[in-house]
Chain A
Amino acid sequence: MDPQRDTPLKRFGAFWIGLFIVVSFGVAALFLSPSFKADMEDPALQSQYEARLAIKADVDAAQAEQFEFKKNGNKAQVAPEQAFAYTAKQLLTAQPKKTGTVVPGSPTDLKNNSGN
């Protein structure tokens, strides 16, 4: 064992050299960061953003209006979550209506076809 190689001073130095090498990557990244920032100030894109944002605002306003409460004579427009319970109750209490549809293979269908 070579006592010259393994001294507390050498260990201390090696620790800080190692730490510096590890940390230097992060420090280098910090110095390089300005060149990697996304350029959001392009004037040609900026005017398009503004037009698109204006259209989006119009669409959002029109859609929001559909959810507001409005009374129109006998009818009322309510938000969907208010209408669900009422509509469900109506559906549960409603009686099935007679339609002209004949289910194939049903007695009515067979009776209708027996004459043919």
Chain B
Amino acid sequence: MSNDQTNTLDARLRTAIDKSVSNPVMFFFTTGALWLVVSILLGVLASLKSHWPTFFEAFGELSTGRAYVAHLNVLIYGWCFPAAFGAIIWFMSRLCRKESKHAGIIVAAGLVWNFGVVIGLLGVMLGKSTGVPWMEFPNQCWVIFLFAYILIAIWSFVQFRVREGGHVYISQWYILAALFLFPWIFCSAHIFTFVFDGHPVMTAAVASWFKSSIVNLFFIPVAAASVYYIAPKVTGRPVHSYSLALLGFWTLIILGAWGGIQKLTGAPLPAFMPYVSAAAGVLFFIPALTIGYNILMTTKSHHDLAKKSPSLRFTVASVIALIGMGVAGVFLNLPSVMRGTQFSLSGYGYEILALYGVFSMSMFAAIYYIVPRVTKREWLAPSFIRTHFNLSAYGVIAVVMGSILGGYLQGAAVEAIDQPFSDAKATAYMISIFNSIAWVIILISNLAFLFHILLMAVRLGRHSKHATLIEEHHGSSPHGADGKVNNY
């Protein structure tokens, strides 16, 4: 078979794969974007109420405690998980070179998942939250989520088992790990917290472990899968070092399950537990730096491309945030620092760095790469993409730096027992105002993103053979220099 014939067959296979996963992928990305905006709105509200308590005071459902809880849980279960599902489905289908034969079941399961998020959100707003961090949705929701997850994720494993023979890609390692580690973490945490009649202190330890593990063993692997796919694809270069990729993968998987319990330093737990977790938190720097260095070296001589390509730009931002997360992990887990920051806003800053800075940025990169391929349209407006990137980057840097550094100052003020407590209160007050402004900026960026992806979902994108680049001018036609091209 000649090269041209091989290329044609390959292109047809890719088109068939994209068509088969188009509905579930667009469903998850679009509903995820919608929940992201809802979550950020709740985040703005929670942040405003922390320094302006009388804002909307007539509505008890919108009190700080409920709005903050709803903000975090909707961010995780409404945006992060659906975005991960959409990316996993597309990456696995493409890498295994298999069409999806169960798009209908996946979409139905996605509807069930969204139903769970609605029930959870209403439950939290009406005061029925469980009070366990990151598991605050009412008790019944986790069963709905587990059931929906099985029906969404199992087909990706089936595709992997029947994949065409040959190399297993780095992205596939991470996706497979995430696919099976998630039910382990989710089942363990929920069963030991809500089903078994265990000791309450153990429940607190399990909840802390859940928060850390779900980030390190699901969200970071999916983010890594995305960056390891997009960076080589866009630059046209292979990954810089296969050995580093192996090192990054195994250190993440081994260290990822040990963290979280450092939040309970001083609790009536065996003394080694929080300090082992803190050590794992410090050592997280190894996989973070490994993955970050590998990807940055892969894109080293393509700075121009990183400026123009939305996917590559978001990918680079995500890996820089991952390296930052490793550095923050070292700083925040030192015993001398942990003493002050344990009950401050630093923890929130670290969570937002992980969920938005690392994971969400990598998902935006995946979405900007995948959506044109499944919808057969190019992104409509480079200005929307620029707005989305710039405001997201500035906003998340502001929230993270403000919360982590401000939280450190807040903790130091609390620890200074010879100074009035009002000093710590004043520091926290300033951080809250700063965070409110930053969240408003992030809200604007994601409203632009939501609008843009909704236009793509209804197939109002550009008909063009050329990808939408950030620094691009369409010329006389909105579809580009070639005019309107039928991509069917």
The B-contacting residues of A in range 7-43, CB under 8 angstroms, are 7, 10-11, 13-15, 17-19, 21-22, 25-26, 29-30, 33, 36-38
Interface size on B, residues (CB 8 A): 24
Enumerate chain A residues within 8 angstroms of B198, measured Cβ to Cβ.
36-38
**Cβ-closest chain A residue relative to B158:** A14
CB distance from B267 to the nearest CB of A (A): 16
Contact A25 B187 (CB under 8 A): yes
CB distance from B183 to the nearest CB of A (A): 4
Contact B199 A10 (CB under 8 A): no
CB distance from B437 to the nearest CB of A (A): 43
Q: Is A5's beta carbon under 8 Å from chain B? A: yes
Contact B197 A1 (CB under 8 A): no
Contact A25 B188 (CB under 8 A): yes
Contact A14 B98 (CB under 8 A): no
Task: Using C-beta atoms within 8 Å of the partner chain, give the interface range for chain A.
Answer: 20 to 34
Contact A38 B199 (CB under 8 A): yes
How far is A17 from B160 in the complex, measured between Cα atoms in Å?
A: 12
How far is A2 from B165 in the complex, measured between Cα atoms in Å?
A: 7
Q: Is A50's beta carbon under 8 Å from chain B? A: no
**Cβ-closest chain A residue relative to B165:** A2
Q: Is B297's beta carbon under 8 Å from chain A? A: no
Main secondary structure of the interface of A (DSSP, over half): helix
Contact A26 B154 (CB under 8 A): no
How far is A21 from B161 in the complex, measured between Cα atoms in Å?
A: 14
How far is A11 from B99 in the complex, measured between Cα atoms in Å?
A: 13
Contact A1 B162 (CB under 8 A): no
Q: Which of A7, A10, A21, A37 contacts B196 (CB 8 A)?
A: A37
CB distance from A13 to the nearest CB of B (A): 8
Contact A18 B157 (CB under 8 A): yes
Known contacts A36-B198, A37-B198, A38-B197, A26 near B191 by CB under 8 Å: yes
Q: Is A60's beta carbon under 8 Å from chain B? A: no
How far is A10 from B198 in the complex, measured between Cα atoms in Å?
A: 41
Q: A5-B164, A21-B180, A22-B183 provided; 15 other pairs, C-beta below 8 A?
A: A1-B164, A5-B162, A15-B154, A15-B158, A17-B157, A18-B154, A19-B150, A25-B183, A26-B187, A29-B191, A29-B192, A36-B196, A37-B196, A37-B197, A38-B202
Q: List 11 A-B contacts (CB under 8 A).
A: A1-B164, A2-B165, A11-B162, A14-B160, A15-B158, A17-B157, A17-B161, A29-B191, A29-B196, A33-B191, A38-B202
* B residues whose Cβ falls under 8 Å from a Cβ of A: 97-98, 150, 154, 157-158, 160-165, 180, 183-184, 187-188, 191-192, 196-199, 202
Q: Return the 6 tightest CB-CB contacts between A and B, nearest first.
A: A14-B161, A38-B199, A6-B162, A18-B157, A14-B158, A22-B183
